[in-house]
Amino acid sequence: MLEGLQNMERNTSENENLNNTQDFSNKLYQRMQQINSGIADLELFEFRYALENLIPKEGWNSVQLQSVCEIEEKINTRKFYESIQLRPKIEGKLVFDAQLTQLTQVLFLGIVENVYSIDWVNKNFYFDLRAFYFFHRTNYFNEKIINHLGEHPYRSYDREQYKLKPTFRGASIQII
């Protein structure tokens, strides 16, 4: 009888955790569409399938949120990047780096609980839909450099290479 009650309690807590996970994934699915428009191309069941590998074993309540300042300080240190493992294995299987997994879990929870604004996340991170992880968005140009380059650090020019072809062709004939 006691054993039956324990199994019932375990099943109840597993159901609560499952409902918690489903509620969590519903909210995350909605908010992630504002971070990466490609999420909208996924069905909710596809999103949940991709999320499965990132659900903490102890549930989302086990994830410790960090302040925006703590996260920014961490991602802007060389030590953080030097400690990332490129090909970690567990039981002979390739897995993703534990730090990046933990960072992604923290960001997911912070997004769902409105601790981290969508604007802040987009400013500091890129969500890779294929890997289903957040990566730090690298800022190549600071404000001083952007001002120096006339507010346009990236330039594009008209394609005019076709004008060079006859010149090279003629030069090749002269050499032969």
Please list the alpha-helical segments (H only) found in 33-117.
44-51, 68-75, 78-82, 98-112
Q: How far is Cα 95 from Cα 89, in angstroms, rounded to an integer?
A: 6
Q: Which residue in the block uniquely carries the two structure tokens 């309540």?
A: 61
The whole-number pLDDT of residue 9 equals: 41
pLDDT tens digits, residue range 22-68?
899 999 999 999 999 999 999 999 999 999 989 998 888 899 999 99
The full set of domain ranges for the chain reads 12-142
Long-range residue pairs from 122-126, CB within 8 A, at least 24 positions apart, any chain: 122/35, 124/71, 124/72, 124/75
- 77: tokens are 């240190």
Q: What is the pTM of this model?
A: 0.70
Counting Cα atoms < 13 Å in the Cβ hemisphere of 113 gives: 14
